[in-house]
Amino acid sequence: MTMEEVAQQYAAEHGLELHERLRVPQRSPQLAANIALVQQGEVAYAVVGPIAGGRQGMLYLCTGGRAMGPAEAQFEIPGLGGALDGLWVRRSGRSVWTRIKLPAGYTELRFDDAAFDGNYRVAVREASSEAAARRLLDREFTAWHVEHAMQGNKLSQAGSFELAGERLFMRGPNGFRDREGLEAFGNAAAGLADRVAAFVARGV
């Protein structure tokens, strides 16, 4: 099936809206796609509605003209900006060859979960956000994320996510390659959104 057909089938099976061209409400500030994708905030094959039967959100395919890039999800989570704004969690190796550079002005955090810390770099935009970031990314969360996030290789962005303003952004594998992959990405993204929303609701 083509990527368009995959998106069509997924949307139809879950009762979601499908938009072949859509301007996203907000772009991910630091999970930048390569080859200048999403330059104007327009994406291809956006699937909108209650993702995985849960929270309202959207799955979409980054595009830059004819080039297709990674899948992304985003969810608006009211109150998120006041709880934790400016968290960057990026798939990365630790060697000189696979280590991803931190965004300018961000402060790195390290964790005692070896599986998580060895495969992701974490940083906050404001030092005052460190305590909240560590409460969200506790050992239960990091273990869950390593098991349930879309785990690409260390040079991919799959499993990377960012909290910015009132929105959660998450990256998946490249494209809507197959129905099973899109289903898995939707489930992983919705699961992450639920955990972040629960963190905000706890008010901690």
- Domain count of the fold of the chain: 1
Report the candidate in 13, 9, 14 with the shortest Cα–Cα distance to residue 53: 14
Output the average pLDDT for the chain: 87
Identify the domain containing residue 94 by its residue range. Answer: 3-202
> How far is 120 from 159, CA to CA, in rounded Å?
9
Report the candidate in 81, 154, 138, 142 with the shortest Cα–Cα distance to residue 115: 142
> How far is 122 from 130, CA to CA, in rounded Å?
10
Residue 189 has pLDDT above 90, yes or no: yes
pLDDT digits (tens, 9 = 90+) for 19-75: 988 888 888 888 765 444 445 567 888 999 999 988 999 999 877 656 677 789 999
Residue 12 has pLDDT above 80, yes or no: yes
What pTM, to 2 d.p., does this model score? 0.91
157: its two tokens: 């962005």
Return the minimum-mean-pLDDT range out of 111-115, 149-153, 176-180: 149-153
Alpha-carbon 36 to chain mean position? 18
- pLDDT at residue number 64: 62
**Eight-class DSSP state of 155:** T
